[in-house]
Chain A
Amino acid sequence: MVEKRPALTFLAYAILTLGVVIVALPVYVTFVASTQTFDQIVSVPMSLVPGTHLIENYKQALTSGSAQASSAPVGRMMLVSLVMALTVAFGKIIISLLSAFAIVYFRFPLRMFFFWMIFVTLMLPVEVRILPTYEVIADLGLINTYAGLIVPLIASATATFLFRQFFMTIPDELAEAARIDGASPMRFFWDVVVPLSRTNMAALFVILFIYGWNQYLWPLLVTTDQSMYTVVIGIRTMIAGGDAATLWNIVMATAMLAMLPPALVVILMQRWFVKGLVETEK
């Protein structure tokens, strides 16, 4: 569409700019706050110019947490979050790949039944089944463990469904050619299906990593020990209630730190991510 209407173009840019400001300003304020001292933050109005305490604040956050609210150091929380997000993302991809492979390439009794069972769970978010899940995890003694954090989240109907749809676009002849070439089903999986799914896996990794990193409710329930807090929970616990003062500068530094890994994953994997969403190599 070639249209030359300056007024319209101006309006479009104005709306876009407004959108960017609305989204970006809170992030900027967070950043500014994380560079100021506690006294600077609580003064009204808060300065919108970055302060001088960037390194001190981040160092304090990473190593000792906000002392007043007696939280664990953010460094430890970041590690827990990272382990959880990575394991959830990789685990989901591996499990979904295998189950989609089974559903698409094997004929077994009740195949469609199992497919629909997986499909139905798509519609049930973690929150819906959270109480029974908690009961199970508690009975298994997995409270305050990585397994407890990760296992209930590790199966993904969405990813299984996506891989199934992708596998169905792979021509049947490819599987047949591999059979004649003498490849066993798992050999075909490794040598053909997995390499062809690379871009899809990359796209899913981005989505699933962020999903794992941003989990809030489940880690909140299943961790009681500060050493097993994820960074998202950590932010919440730093905000002291009642009379205790909240060290907002440290909280904001933590928030910035918590934003960092998902942003990095998106930026580093952007090329693959877009490729995986729009094209398939066939």
Chain B
Amino acid sequence: MAQVILKNVTKAFGKTQVIYGMDLVVTDGEFVVIVGPSGCGKSTVLRMIAGLEPVTSGIIEIAGRVVNDVEPKDRNIAMVFQNYALYPHMSVRENMAYGLKIRRMPKPEIEAHVARAAKILELEGLLDRKPRELSGGQRQRVAMGRAIVRDPAAFLFDEPLSNLDAKLRVQMRLEIQKLSRELGTTSLYVTHDQVEAMTLAHRMVVMNAGRVEQIGAPLDVYLRPASAFVAAFIGVPPMNLLKGRVGEGVFSLGNGLAVKLPAAAPRPPAGAEAILGVRPEHMFPTSEAEASLTLGVETIERLGADTLAHGTFDAHSMVVRLAAEARLEPGARLALGLVPDEIHWFDPATQKRLEFPSG
């Protein structure tokens, strides 16, 4: 039973409000990723759960116990830091054993715990090295080993992969995924990298400016973003967002510019102000006559698996994902159709998602 529960948790540094009433239930064994742009307060949430920052108001429960006034060491959690925070003068073995030594665990037991963690993380050959003799990926593994040996109720990861190079990051991402499946320990993982969030999370929490924008399974969040912010933040390249007014069969952006709406597309009533969102992969080249909009292509990114065409629709920059073999040059005009069921609507005032029955 290692649930982590946040009830209306807020945090203010002096007069600056950083977290506005956050509610979250992380169930036993769940892997929850908190994702958001830098400065959105995601690390602060993690640090409050760890006990490194006091909570301004609200309640944090770990394993059924309110821990607001409990010291970090007594919360039965383990934390992995972005810069690893390994003790530089201690060997890998000592680093992992330090927490257990302080807890006065008998020596043979410490040895067993360290050996088990080293085996899981394939660190057996490195136990007598100092952190400075390790590569970034190995250091990160030691930092995780230090967390594992304690057998905590919950793991807290604070951007653990941000200091690694791109290739290693992908590899460590897979390892963390495997590890969390094997250990089945409740985990909270903070990152600004939405790919990490999408791939690791059972559920993800998207935060912006101290507020939770959406909580849900990664694919649900991707397919049905709860706000324009989430729509733009999750997905590479981000969702195209256009602000305008709904007309008869069209969505007008002002200046006489309009997007022709597919007949089957759900839409707000005519005359309503709205934000239209469509993902780059939900637009397709079509004939001029059937096109919803025409893109003036400016740059082409060939990624191998597919091709991204960046361009402008009048003054609005947009991006579309095309097939790898798409024949296209910068300067071309690209007539695009929209997939009717993949058009998202957002309220321009609240930025919240709007739902409408199909056309």
Which residues from chain A sit less than 8 Å from chain B, CB to CB?
A: 171, 173-174, 176-183, 187, 191-192, 195-196, 281-282
Contact = CB atoms under 8 A, between A and B. Distances in A.
A176 B85 contact: yes
Contacts of A191: 87, 98
A49 B280 CA distance: 93
Contacts of A178: 87, 98
B109 to A, nearest CB: 16
B20 interface: no
Contacts of B86: 177
Nearest to B81: A173
A92 B336 CA distance: 76
Contacts of B188: none
B89 A281 contact: yes
A182 B77 CA distance: 11
9 residue pairs, one from A and one from B, having the closest CB atoms: A182-B73, A173-B85, A181-B99, A177-B85, A182-B102, A195-B89, A173-B81, A180-B72, A179-B72
B218 to A, nearest CB: 28
A179 B73 contact: yes
Contacts of B293: none
A180 B103 contact: no
B88 A196 contact: yes
A196 B89 contact: yes
Interface string B64-108: 000000011100011101110111110000000011001100000
Given A171-B83, A173-B83, A180 B50 contact: yes
B134 interface: no
B52 interface: yes
Contact of B73 (A174, A181, A195, A282): A181
Interface in B26-82: 50-52, 71-73, 77-79, 81-82
Interface residues of B, number: 23
A177 B81 CA distance: 8
Contacts of A183: 73, 98, 102
A200 to B, nearest CB: 13
Nearest to A182: B73
A100 B132 CA distance: 26
12 contacts: A173-B85, A174-B87, A177-B86, A179-B52, A180-B73, A181-B102, A182-B99, A182-B103, A191-B98, A192-B89, A196-B89, A281-B88
A35 B261 CA distance: 108
Contacts of A196: 88-89
A195 B98 CA distance: 14
A192 B87 contact: yes
A231 B282 CA distance: 89
Nearest to A173: B85
Contacts of B83: 171, 173
A187 B81 contact: no
Given A179-B73, A180-B73, A281-B88, A187 B102 contact: yes
Contacts of A195: 89
B140 to A, nearest CB: 13
A177 B131 CA distance: 15
Given A182-B99, A183-B102, A177 B79 contact: yes
Nearest to B84: A173
Contacts of A177: 79, 81, 85-87, 146
A176 B81 contact: yes
B88 A282 contact: yes
Contacts of A179: 51-52, 71-73
Given A176-B72, A179-B71, 15 more contacts: A171-B85, A174-B85, A176-B52, A177-B79, A177-B81, A177-B87, A178-B87, A179-B52, A179-B72, A180-B77, A183-B98, A191-B87, A281-B88, A281-B132, A282-B88
